[in-house]
Amino acid sequence: MQTTDHLSVRGDAPAIDTAAIRRLAVNDSGFVFDPITGRSFTVNATGRRLLALMRDQVDAEGLIAALADEYEVENDDLRRDLHDFVRLLREQLQ
């Protein structure tokens, strides 16, 4: 898997700085806390897995490949869901 300092799922989506992902505190139940902004939110098990992969600076194609190995989902569906997750995550990190 390739690594990246910024994650962009599609060309039309602004990238997320992986440093912002790495600063998040995430517990086993999916509670996420951003110590810089003070914001908190929750994610499900798939969201926790995505955040872990993003922390490792895995690029978008690597994220899709990893999830395709773990779940029985078509790549197009994964790409769409990943795009939605990144969009929502970006909103939380603003």
**In this predicted model, what pLDDT tens digit does every residue of 18-56 receive, in sequence order?**
888 999 999 999 999 999 999 999 999 999 999 999 888
Mean pLDDT of 72-93: 89
Q: Where residue 15 falls among pLDDT bands split at 50, 70, 90?
A: low
User: Torsion angle of alpha carbons 41, 47, 50, 51, nearest 10°?
Assistant: 20
pTM of the model: 0.81
* Rounded CA separation 25/31 (Å): 8
Identify the three-state secondary structure at position 21: helix
Q: What is the residue extent of each domain of the chain?
A: 6-93
* Rounded CA separation 6/21 (Å): 10
Smallest CA-to-CA distance from 10 within 61, 68, 56, 49 is with 61
Residue with tokens 């994610």: 43
Q: Where residue 3 falls among pLDDT bands split at 50, 70, 90?
A: very low
